[in-house]
Amino acid sequence: MNKKIGAKKPERSELGRVRDRLTFLYLEHAKLNRQDSAILVMDSRGTVCVPAAVVSVLMLGPGVDVTHRAMELIGTSGMGVIWVGEHGVRQYAYGRPLNHASTLLEAQARLVSNSKTRVAVARKMYQMRFKDEDVSDLSMQELRGKEGARVRRVYREQSKQSKVDWSRREYNPDDFNAGTPINKALTAAHQALYGLSYSVISALGASAGLGFVHTGHDLSFVYDFADLYKAKYSIPIAFNMTAKVGDDKDIASKTRLAMRDAFKDGNILSKMVVDLKYLLGEADLEEDVDSLSLWDDKLGLQEMGVQYHEIEEDESV
Annotated binding site for Mn(2+): 147, 214, 227
Backbone angles phi, psi at 13, to 5 degrees: -70, -20
Burial profile 36-64: b = 16 or more Cβ within 10 angstroms, e = fewer: ebbbbbeeeeeeeebebbebbbbbbbeeb
Cα–Cα distances (Å) from 108 to 13, 63, 254, 282, in that order, read 25, 36, 35, 10
C-alpha dihedral (200, 204, 206, 211), degrees to nearest 10: -30
Q: Where is the binding site, in residues?
A: 147, 214, 227
Amino acid at site 269: L
For Cα atoms 222, 226, 232, give the angle at the middle one, nearest 5 degrees.
175
Instruction: Identify the bridge partners of residue 46 per DSSP, sorted by sequence position.
Output: 43
